[in-house]
Amino acid sequence: MASNFRSYIWDPVLIVCQIVLMQCIYYSFLGLWLAGVDSLVQSSRSLDQIFSYEVLGFATMQGRLSMMAFILNSLTCALGLWFFIRRGKQCLDFTVTVHFFHMIGCWIYNAHLPSALSWWLVNVACMALMAVIGEYLCMRTELRAIPVNSGPKSNL
């Protein structure tokens, strides 16, 4: 009797749906974190905060708070990996995919590849956090003991 537990059937529709879901989680929670940060310093909301590499920086308070929002978003996305991907082996793949599509979005928005060192450092740090924490959570769930008891115990 074949088991369907963790079958390794390649399902492109599932993979594409998971990629779209992770992108939605990434941008919706990044928007929420940035809205929270903006409410702290009473600044205006803009797409520049998400896609412009010039916003992220150590020089201004707005830049440091935006960097904090990106870091918090990587923790939120790690939870998204845990809830929806559920495979430790796939966490790095989905993390890199999410950040790759974000880089493409930034490239299109700015009309050139991001050139600020702070943008690259923040995104590499977020990628590392999201992958490591997501993989830790998924592996912890995968390694949970599976109960083998099939019936009541009898006294022999």
pTM for the full predicted model: 0.85
The per-residue pLDDT for range 15-46, each reduced to its tens digit, is 999 999 999 999 999 999 999 988 888 877 88
Confidence of residue 60 (pLDDT cuts 50, 70, 90): confident
The per-residue pLDDT for range 86-135, each reduced to its tens digit, is 888 999 999 999 999 999 999 999 999 998 999 999 999 999 999 999 99
Confidence of residue 62 (pLDDT cuts 50, 70, 90): confident
pLDDT at residue 55 greater than cutoff 70: yes
Rounded to whole angstroms, the Cα distance separating 130 from 132 reads: 6
Long-range contacts of 62-70 (CB under 8 A, 24+ apart): 63/118, 65/37, 65/40, 65/41, 66/34, 66/37, 67/118, 67/122, 68/37, 69/30, 69/33, 69/34, 69/36, 69/37, 70/30, 70/33, 70/122, 70/123, 70/126
pLDDT at residue 7 greater than cutoff 70: no
